[in-house]
Amino acid sequence: MIQASHRHIFRIACAALGPIARSGLSISLGIAALAVFTGGCGARTGRETREILSLKEMSREQRMVFLKGYRGDWRDSVDKNRGIPPPPIEKPWPAGAELVSLPDPFEAPAADVALVEAVRNRRSRRAYTAEGLTLAELSWLLWCTQGIEKIERNDDGNVVATYRPVPSGGARHPFETYLSVHRVEGLKAGIYRYLPVEHKLLPLRYDANMASDFKSACYNQEHVGRAAVLFIWAAVPCRTEWAYGIIAAKLIAVDAGHVCQNLYLGAEAIRVGVCGILGYDQQRLDSLLCLDGRNEFVIYLASVGRTSTGGPDSQAGGALTHETVRP
Ligand SMILES: Cc1cc2nc3c(=O)[nH]c(=O)nc-3n(C[C@H](O)[C@H](O)[C@H](O)COP(=O)(O)O)c2cc1C
């Protein structure tokens, strides 16, 4: 099923980029980049990986293909409309693995900030203290970002869609959430994967040095090393490709923004700081999480920690003045 779907996606990509090629621009880089960016499920060759390194040589017009999507009608070619069942909504985990139970997400003690206040106060906060988070706070933040409220199944009992605090195109939710835990009460430091169906954590690796590894993979951003925990979202493109084929990349990128915004707001509600992060080395992060970089790869992450004043810090630092403008 997957290979067939990729052949279709590739054919449509060629059709979409055809006019650009006719206008005299190189098409091979565009197709390779599009195939890698959207291509979650099928095997790819090393040649395409080398070509993606030349992304900076593409014209702006070619790069914008990802954002603008495909103008033709892609609907008949997608697996969903050909009666093929959807891929699983959650990556499988080893039978018998010892999962970590999480407290009721609504127990987070300080969840007392009204929504309006949380929205108004939301800022990126990076000046984390050495204090950790409680497990109840972590449970709340995981629920805000990827927790499941409702599961929809078909007549065969297969999961068709999940409904969560964040929206997702076609309710596909194409992410896995990894945590690099540095200071969370009751958890050993290391890497965990969140299992949204179970609302539990799957420990992947205990390691007390993850904070410095992630800091270095994020171009030595200080707040990454100081965070109590990092939320790292990996995209699993085939979940969205199943329904949206060639336009999946755009949906996945937009979905990721919703997830992190809920982390910001959920954290604001319990007076915890968050900073979204795209400044990172793709290959290093993928390899820290043992992701293959094709069927699953890091798309976004965020540092999370307590801040002493609760006040935002400056992105640029130095002698800037800030004027608060509020209605
Ligand atoms: C997609 C995205 C990527 C970002 N990447 C980083 C980053 O790598 N490092 C960082 O310190 N802040 C990062 N930020 C935070 C922005 O710098 C911040 O949102 C901006 O300065 C505005 O400040 P505010 O969030 O307090 O409103 C990112 C934000 C977004 C939305």
From 67, 122, 124, 216, mutation site for ligand 1 pocket: most ligand atoms within 8 A of C-beta: 124
Predicted confidence at residue 322, as pLDDT, reads 59
From 121, 265, 275, mutation site for ligand 1 pocket: most ligand atoms within 8 A of C-beta: 275
Structural tokens at position 154 = 């078909």
Answer whether 132's CB lies under 8 Å from 228's CB. Answer: yes
Predicted confidence at residue 27, as pLDDT, reads 31
CB-side exposure of 263: number of CA atoms within 13 Å?
Answer: 29
The per-residue pLDDT for range 103-114, each reduced to its tens digit, is 999 887 656 788
Residue 184 CA to residue 106 CA, distance in Å, equals 17
Structural element, H or E, at residue 150: strand 150-153
| Predicted model pTM | 0.83
- Cβ of residue 265 lying under 6 Å from some atom of ligand 1: no
- Cβ of residue 259 lying under 6 Å from some atom of ligand 1: no
**Regions of the chain where pLDDT drops below 70:** 1-53, 109-111, 309-327
Predicted confidence at residue 110, as pLDDT, reads 59
Residue nearest atom 21 in ligand 1 by C-alpha distance: 315
- Cβ of residue 277 lying under 6 Å from some atom of ligand 1: yes
Residue nearest atom 31 in ligand 1 by C-alpha distance: 276
Predicted confidence at residue 38, as pLDDT, reads 37
Predicted confidence at residue 30, as pLDDT, reads 35
User: 100-305 maps to which CATH number?
Assistant: 3.40.109.10
Beta strand 297-305 with 273-277 is antiparallel
The per-residue pLDDT for range 271-299, each reduced to its tens digit, is 999 999 999 999 999 999 999 999 999 99
Predicted confidence at residue 311, as pLDDT, reads 54
- Cβ of residue 315 lying under 6 Å from some atom of ligand 1: yes
Residue nearest atom 12 in ligand 1 by C-alpha distance: 277
Predicted confidence at residue 258, as pLDDT, reads 98
CATH 3.40.109.10 in the chain is located at: 100-305
Predicted confidence at residue 129, as pLDDT, reads 97
Residue nearest atom 6 in ligand 1 by C-alpha distance: 277
Answer whether 299's CB lies under 8 Å from 175's CB. Answer: yes
